[in-house]
Amino acid sequence: MTEDVRKDTLPNGLTIITESMPAVRSVSVGVWLRTGAREERAEENGISHFIEHMLFKGTKHRSAEEIARSADAIGGHLDAFTAKECTSFSIKVLDEHLSRAFEILGDLVKNPLFDGEHIKRERQVIREEIKMVEDTPDDLVHEIFTQTYWRGHALGRPILGTRQTVGQFERHELAAYFHRYYAPRNMVVAAAGNLEHARVADLSVREFGELPPGRPIKRSPPPVANPHIKLHEKKDLEQVHICIGAPAFSQTHERRFPGYILNSTLGGGMSSRLFQNIREKHGLAYAVFSSINAFRDAGCLSVYAGTAAGKARQAVELIVAELRRMKEAPLTAEELQHAKDYLKGSLLLSLESTMSRMSHLARQEMYFGRHVTLDEIAAGVDAVTPEQVQSVARELFSTDRIALTILGPRNHIKLTRSDLAC
């Protein structure tokens, strides 16, 4: 811990972590659950996200309108999201409104009504949200890829759920799931901004100190990757949308930093190899990039490109060629330094707000159980060598581990495992 970052744990298991930022006037506070869609059973798929919505529809003390007005009255920004391995509720306010912010968040995550009429309306809202993904092909191809890549595991199921599962949720199921997971042992309170740790701790005790700790959470087993080739037809599309994936390291893996450098060089920005080759040199795609989805015990590096139907095979060939190139030769000194500067700069720029600092604190606590300093992260990035990046590429980019999903207007594109040889 640094002097600016402090941590406490209440007797009921609630973790409190704060970062003092005296130069600002705002404070961001978040209540984070250490569980998300990953902990759902198949028949519960989408229930974490459904509950996230329901918490804003009314509590024992406030209607949905009163929740919104409570935040607006202090100029606050109230937000929430559900991910595969966490759920978050947060608010950003001026430092003078910290106590009120805690009271609003506490009411949300302790006292939901789960009113029957609200549940009925929210089913339709989330069905529309699912349709929105289906109408956004670059989102849809990633969803299809994920469902196929992590087939049979909760990580492969959509966070939103399906129309069928969402349509079946009843009040008793929502309440049971809520009481199972919304407990101090499964919670982290994170705050960043112009604050005093002791004050945040006192407010946390006020809102959550009397809650029972809850039962230990049973974690799902690690997923097993399915290196597939899947061609999915969607007739009303103008483009073919391509997602190629390979294994990546988990959130806490000791070799994660060479993995970050690899991803940055491959498709992390406008100067990346994929962007320069596929867009600038060949003009095949407007959007082309790579990204890493890392979880507590697994990860996946994916490459996305959108191109004309007649150019899909060429785009796949060029992407695979770049994977192969990462294996065949180490990065140049210039490429390596550029990737390091890009990663460190992106990190620092992303942490300029109290909300991003608060989120950073919570995620580190959930995955590492401690605060990882920016200096420690920078040192990890700076220590990466070209040989380490090449070694990672050779380990992860093997022909039998590459997966491919293509979403497009016609499915006559014929691709086999040999087309993914790298």
Q: Catalytic residue numbers?
A: 52
The DSSP result for 213-229, as a single string, is --PPP-PPPPP-----E
Give me the count of residues in the chain.
422
CA distances from 121 to 112, 130, 160 (A): 16, 15, 16
Burial (CB count within 10 angstroms: exposed 0-12, middle 13-18, buried 19+), residue 245: buried
Sign of the alpha-carbon torsion through 173, 176, 177, 182: positive
E runs forming strands in 83-170: 87-94
Distance, CA of 410 to CA of 231 (rounded, Å): 9
Task: Output phi, psi for 356, to 5 deg.
Answer: -70, -35
Distance, CA of 389 to CA of 171 (rounded, Å): 50
Which tokens go with 133? Answer: 């993904």
Cross-strand partners of 88: 32, 81
